[in-house]
């Protein structure tokens, strides 16, 4: 059996996996542990002392955990210092005897150890008492665990009487943890083992002050056979104290001519304009451009623009248009297409270059103010965060089409 420890830290929405002797850095494995062992141990320092609670959590994305507790829970009733908490998800563990090693009987140079899997998460906790957020969190947790436990016979929140459900909600408070901090990097790099240790931090410019200070101490005394790599798109945003202790290597993007040649090789029937559109949508990354070329929504953009104009100019049939697009694309594909188009309309309003250079956004841009466009984007993002609960994607598209019409 291999010994490996999962120590997972997040900063500004990006996961960083600190390597140990037998590292496990696959995001799917870390997600598996959180999903299969959701009852986490929470540790927090409050004004009245240290507290520990055991609360099931749901991993929403790479930067967010959600849960709910009773209003009477000490976690909510006590003031948490700086709103910082530590969550520990524990999976399997087992004692390892020296007798398990064949070489023990040859040289007896073996000692007992313990194999275990844990995920450590540090972050800032925020409480919510509005009914909408509490319903969303409760719905997400219920859907996750009921689908595992009961499958097609899963209990739904709608099974309970509405007045009873609302009464229960009045006794709950929802919370969200934004995962952000690096704290166990120093113990890791100071361990003494054979071989090299590699620490990768990305994006390095997202380090907050506390994380930067901890990293600076590590850079000053990293130990032997340690390689620390910081990846940053904006090198000058790194603190000068950190930059002065690192070697700087600039990795530029692929030359446009090489990217175009690559696309031409893999998409021989594409025209020059089409290849440029693909590179624009893929942020000038040719491999991503190939994926965009194979997406279902790419060739439907002009048709949606036509329907969008009908909504704005004729002021009718929003549900018919919504139904059409709910059937044509999955919500994930539709939202990706819509965001690209929305961004370009915003760019037209700001007199900036657009990505979909094969489309005309002039008429649509005249119909909306910048404030309206930003509001549409904000509301779409909020809807996407709740899409995992009982709200269906088609309802989000229905609401969006009504908003696009009522300007």
Q: Which residues have CB under 8 Å from 80's CB, separation 6+? A: 44, 45, 46, 125
**Distance between CA 380 and CA 72 in Å, rounded?**
34
* Contact by Cβ (8 Å): 189, 229: no
pLDDT in tens, 277-328: 999 998 888 988 999 999 999 999 999 999 999 999 888 889 999 999 999 9
Could you tell me the strand order of the sheet in which 172-179 lies?
A: 49-56, 39-46, 80-96, 113-128, 172-179, 64-70, 58-61
**Distance between CA 259 and CA 265 in Å, rounded?**
10
**Distance between CA 345 and CA 120 in Å, rounded?**
42
Give the model's pLDDT for residue 389: 56
Backbone angles phi, psi at 41, to 5 degrees: -90, 125
Give the model's pLDDT for residue 155: 85
Maximum separation of any 2 CA atoms in the chain, in Å: 86
Architecture of domain 8-181: Roll (2.30)
* Tally of residues, the chain: 407
From 395, 343, 403, select the one nearest 379 (Cα to Cα). Answer: 403
**Distance between CA 320 and CA 160 in Å, rounded?**
32
* Contact by Cβ (8 Å): 45, 81: yes
Number of other residues whose CB lies within 10 A of the CB of residue 376: 19
- Residues of the chain predicted below pLDDT 50: 1-21, 181-188, 190-193
Helices and strands in the chain, H and E counts: 17, 11
What sign has the CA pseudo-torsion 304, 310, 311, 313? positive
Give the model's pLDDT for residue 45: 87
Give the model's pLDDT for residue 391: 56
Give the model's pLDDT for residue 327: 92
Q: Which residues have CB under 8 Å from 180's CB, separation 6+? A: 10, 11, 12, 63, 122, 123, 124, 208, 211
pLDDT in tens, 320-372: 999 999 999 998 899 999 999 999 999 999 999 999 999 999 999 999 999 99
Q: Which two tokens stand for residue 59?
A: 């991993």
């Amino acid at each position: 059996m291999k010994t490996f420890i999962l120590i997972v830290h997040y900063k500004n929405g990006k996961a960083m996996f600190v390597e140990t002797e037998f590292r496990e850095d696959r995001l799917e494995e870390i997600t598996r542990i959180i999903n299969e062992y959701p009852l986490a141990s929470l540790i927090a320092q409050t004004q009245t002392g240290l507290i520990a609670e055991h609360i099931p959590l749901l991993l929403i994305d790479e930067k967010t955990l959600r849960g709910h507790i009773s209003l009477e829970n000490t976690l909510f009733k006590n003031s948490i210092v700086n709103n910082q908490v530590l969550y520990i998800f524990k999976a399997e563990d087992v004692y390892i005897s020296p007798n398990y090693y064949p070489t023990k009987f040859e040289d007896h140079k073996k000692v007992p150890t313990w194999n275990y899997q844990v995920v450590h998460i540090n972050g800032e906790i925020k409480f919510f008492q509005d009914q909408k957020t509490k319903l969303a969190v409760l719905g997400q947790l219920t859907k996750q665990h009921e689908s595992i436990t009961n499958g097609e016979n899963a209990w739904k929140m709608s099974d309970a009487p509405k007045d009873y459900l609302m009464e229960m909600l009045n006794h709950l408070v929802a919370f969200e943890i934004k995962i952000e901090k690096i704290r166990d990097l120093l113990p890791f790099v100071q361990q003494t083992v054979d071989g090299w240790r590699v620490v990768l931090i990305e994006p390095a410019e997202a380090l907050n002050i506390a994380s930067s200070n901890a990293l600076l101490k590590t850079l000053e005394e990293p130990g032997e056979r340690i390689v620390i790599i910081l990846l940053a798109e904006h090198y000058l945003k790194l603190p000068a104290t950190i930059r002065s202790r690192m070697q700087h290597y600039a990795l530029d993007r692929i030359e446009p001519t090489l990217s175009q040649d690559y696309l031409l090789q893999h998409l021989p029937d594409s025209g020059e304009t089409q290849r440029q559109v693909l590179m624009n949508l893929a942020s000038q990354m040719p491999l991503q451009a190939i994926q965009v070329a194979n997406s279902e929504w790419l060739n439907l953009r002009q048709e949606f623009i036509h329907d969008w104009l009908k909504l704005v100019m004729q002021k009718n049939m929003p549900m018919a248009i919504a139904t059409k697009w709910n059937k044509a694309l999955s919500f994930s594909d539709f939202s990706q297409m819509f965001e690209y188009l929305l961004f370009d309309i915003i760019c037209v309003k700001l007199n900036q270059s657009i990505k979909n250079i094969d489309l005309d956004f002039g008429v649509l841009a005249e119909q909306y103010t910048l404030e309206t466009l930003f509001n549409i984007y904000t509301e779409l993002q909020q809807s996407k965060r709740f899409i995992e609960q009982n709200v269906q994607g088609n309802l989000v598209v229905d609401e969006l089409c009504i908003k696009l019409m009522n300007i």
